Chains A and B, each alone.
Chain A
Amino acid sequence: MTPQSDESLLGRDGFSRLADAALDADLGGGMAAVEVLLQREAGGLTRFANSQIHQNVWREDLAANVRVVTDDGRVGVASIHTDDPAAVAQTARQAADIARLSPPDPAFPGLAPMAKAGDVDVDESTLAATPEDRAEAVRALLAEVDQRYEAAGAYRTQADEIGVFNTEGQRSYAPRSSASLTLVVTGPSSSGWAEDGGRSRHDIDPAGAGRRAVDKVRAGADPTDVDAGQWTVVLEPPAVGTLAAYLAYMAFGGRDYLEGRSYAVGRLGEQVADERVSLTDDPRSPHAGGYPVDYEGTPTSTVELLAGGVLQSVVHDRNTAKQAGTDSTGNALPAPNTYGPMALYPIFTPGDGGSTADLVAGCERGLLVTRFHYTNVLNRKETTATGMTRDGTFLIQDGKVTKAVRNLRFTQSLIGALAQVEAVSSDIAYAGEGFEYGCRQPALRIAGFSFTGTTSFG
């Protein structure tokens, strides 16, 4: 029998059975609270290179993460990948054993209380995607790529589920569908990028992505050198997504803030970016790919990080919220979490700048950047990062893209860049780099963006 569907759900009932195995397990004396985080991931990914499918995979995983707290505040965590309730119960007993061996944690804030989480859109046809559905999408984009070029990328469909159940009465469950497509088309002297994605595979236009990438590789042919230095840049949404992800990582975590390691220390309420710039963490947005609940059972929410360029807040889990004397914003990672809370879905608010082409039209001389590559942190507290441009970097002269240029290395304070924003597009597009699942971002035009090196290809 050939499987017809890749990604059917286990469902609330299936999750409840597994969770109750841990919550009802005999853990011995002295146990005060138990939490079970269940995550199921089922998905297929069809990868192509040299214009043919070369890797094609499917995987189903179900992980149970059990946190047990003793009467005197000792905490232990154990996890297992299984769909067997007895194994989950045994994992709870192991977590209890670990807790007994650990010293009390006076900072432990307790488990999340019962609270209703909202819903996110789930697309049934994405849950039901088959290998042939993915192959058909790949064939559609390959049909747009003529023989002079080679195409490489990946088409993914995914059915995920999360459940957080605890002895405080919280019993949250949520499914999630998602799909994404990445594509690089390579020619003799250039490469071109396109990507697409969302909560439904119907958010993706494979043939359209193929055409966009081919347009890029054609326009990028025979790149020339430009000097490193300060440039006005128009960053397309994939490049803006990288900025958002690294900024969230460096500046907006509640733990770094409390430990004095964040840019945000002493700056809440300050104007740090141009007034056109607003940034929110919004996991439930139709433009993001998050869940309605975080990994310790708190409902996720919309958190204003920057509003009109003013630094508004950082994100919290229950631990940092207790220390800060506030409430969790629903940004916890799975326990035990040594990184602190994270803003996983930071989205720049669209502006009134029109399209990316409109942002280019308003630029006298600058660079159009399709995306960044291998970005990394240089100085967290300054929000300084470095990385390369990739798959389409172009010179703008008198409001027009005039020629392709070779890739450049940037070294730049990201908050510093946001202070120099000249325009924010009203159009938005999918950006996957730096995110578990991508977000839709606008394009930005930024003055004085710092490039510190060049390379020898486009």
Chain B
Amino acid sequence: MRDLAQLALDEAVAAGAGYADARAVLEEGESLSVQDDRVEGVERSATRGVGVRVLVDGSWGFAGTARLDREQIMAAARRAVAIAKASATAQRRAVRLAPVQVATGSYTTPYGTDPFDVGIDDKLELLLAAAAAARGEPKLTLAKASFDAWRTSKWFVSSEGADLQQTLLQLAGGVECIAVGENEVQVRSYPNSFRGYCATGGWEDVVALDLVGQAQQHAEEAVALLDAPNLPPQTGTLVLDANQVALQVHESVGHPLELDRILGYEAAYAGTSWVGIGDVGSLRYGSDHVNLTVDTTTDKGLGTYGWDDEGVPAGRHPLVANGILRDFLTSRETAPYVDDQTRSNGTMRADSWGTIPLIRMTNINLEPGSGSFEQLLDEAGDGIYMSTNKSWSIDDKRLNFQFGCEVAYDIRGGKLGKLYRNPTYTGRTPVFWGSCDGIAGPQHWQVYGTPNCGKGEPGQVARVSHGAAPARFRDVQMGVR
């Protein structure tokens, strides 16, 4: 596959590209789903192709093809150059790339057991056992369990001399318990919603989830939610489970700090940002408790790799320090907009051989605070605790958001009490993060995967992660219906 990337690169340069890079990508996938005692789907997939990206006179062109004979690949490279020339007919400012240390090398995700080496029948046995355990709650309507794995092998070469090979291993597994009432459908997911645990690593990480042991209690909670009251409208103290903090970070920190959004590149589709390019160093994003990083070295993170899809090495960079904005997610094209000395912090990723790299979230982490979860509740006074995302929506500047969770409990006297269904909360980004007055310590900090992050046109879906711990927020509007 590397030779195919080199072929595309050579042809693009010969056709007139001032800069070119080429990626040859093979992604293998496996997806297993069961419902109750029935196997719903077993699929193996493979997609492979070559994408070539070129700059001609400061304008971009890109072409990708799954047809891997030499003629088709060389035609794709020439097509990319022709497209760049067409781009140049509507150009205001030529693209200038921030410098990068040209790298050669390889990277492989650390793992114990390759999930593709585990038999499909063994995996189905685990999933069927988890679903059966959930059906130990007799009032449960449906029990689902799933497993997914992706192995991405990619080769990157550039006209600057980069020559990189990476193999990334990502996987997901979880249980979904569904209770259907007369006018209600309630769901409890373990260990998280939207395909469960999602991370880089090996099969041992899925085994460690103990899906079978955890299934029944989540099934019982789903059934209990059918008879629970809706969360009443109120404004007060909200403690979020780490899995919901992770999505809060995703929507109200990760996306608005993508520098391409700030520069207007996504204006017509995903939107722009409430943050301006001149806000670094002065904008108060949240309270002093709030420290956020972009970290492509996070253990188990779906955004963990050796180099991004522009050949920029992995690293850890502060985004918000003690509540003050410090940086954006950047690329080689966008970093110079901050100032001439700024380098990319390595967040460019494409979701396949056939798409261009975009600034993506990689691993955007809320750094842990101190103390235990119990202390967080103790100091809450009266309040509400919510866990596990069910719904998300945020405006096109990433200011006004509304989230729904699977489950909520009263907090009274530092203890979780009454159960509520259909909980929601809403707010505005800087006000919400400004109201954060507690984050649990490292012992509660986990990395959560978000496998369905959409961005760009044509649409791309990235698998990204967020490290988070439970956190407490004051004066939050809840129970919107």
Contact = CB atoms under 8 A, between A and B. Distances in A.
Interface string B71-99: 00001101110111111011111000000
A355 interface: no
B90 A138 contact: yes
Contacts of A407: 395, 400
B117 to A, nearest CB: 14
Main secondary structure of the interface of B (DSSP, over half): mixed
B402 A411 contact: yes
B43 interface: yes
Q: Interface residue tally of chain A, by bracket?
A: 35 or more
Given A186-B264, A388-B400, A60 B180 contact: no
Nearest to A44: B83
A386 B393 contact: yes
A261 B391 CA distance: 17
A429 B119 CA distance: 51
A298 interface: no
Nearest to B271: A373
B65 to A, nearest CB: 5
A150 B266 CA distance: 12
A79 B42 CA distance: 11
A384 to B, nearest CB: 8
A76 B394 CA distance: 39
Contacts of A105: 38-39
B392 to A, nearest CB: 6
Contacts of A61: 47, 49, 64-66, 354
B265 A54 contact: yes
Nearest to B399: A455
B79 A81 contact: no
Interface stretch (B55-63, B101-109, B309-317): B55-63
Nearest to B395: A388
Given A81-B47, A153-B268, A386-B393, A60 B42 contact: no
Contacts of B35: 338
B458 A59 contact: yes
B428 interface: yes
Given A46-B86, A81-B49, A102 B39 contact: yes
A58 B400 contact: no
A139 B142 contact: no
B261 to A, nearest CB: 10
A339 B67 CA distance: 30
A58 B83 contact: yes
Contacts of B263: 49-50
A23 interface: no
Nearest to A408: B400
Given A59-B354, A105-B38, A336 B33 contact: yes
A52 B93 contact: yes
Contacts of A120: none
Contacts of A79: 43-46
A206 B121 CA distance: 54
A375 B393 contact: yes
B457 A81 contact: no
A125 B309 CA distance: 35
Interface in A3-44: 3, 6, 43-44
A286 interface: no
Nearest to B128: A103
Closest 9 CB pairs of A and B: A336-B41, A131-B86, A152-B267, A455-B400, A81-B47, A59-B354, A153-B268, A135-B86, A52-B92
8 contacts: A55-B62, A80-B45, A139-B90, A184-B267, A375-B393, A378-B404, A379-B422, A390-B271
Interface of B: 31, 33, 35, 38-49, 51, 59-68, 75-76, 78-80, 82-87, 89-93, 119-121, 124, 141-142, 144, 178, 180, 183-185, 263-269, 271-272, 354-356, 390-397, 399-400, 402, 404, 422, 424, 426, 428, 457-458, 480-481
Given A58-B76, A61-B65, 10 more contacts: A47-B457, A78-B45, A82-B66, A101-B121, A152-B266, A336-B40, A336-B42, A376-B393, A409-B426, A455-B400
Interface of A: 1-3, 6, 43-63, 75-84, 91, 94-95, 98, 101-103, 105, 107, 130-132, 134-135, 138-139, 142, 150, 152-154, 156, 182-184, 186, 191, 259-261, 335-338, 373-382, 384, 386-388, 390-391, 407, 409, 411, 452-457
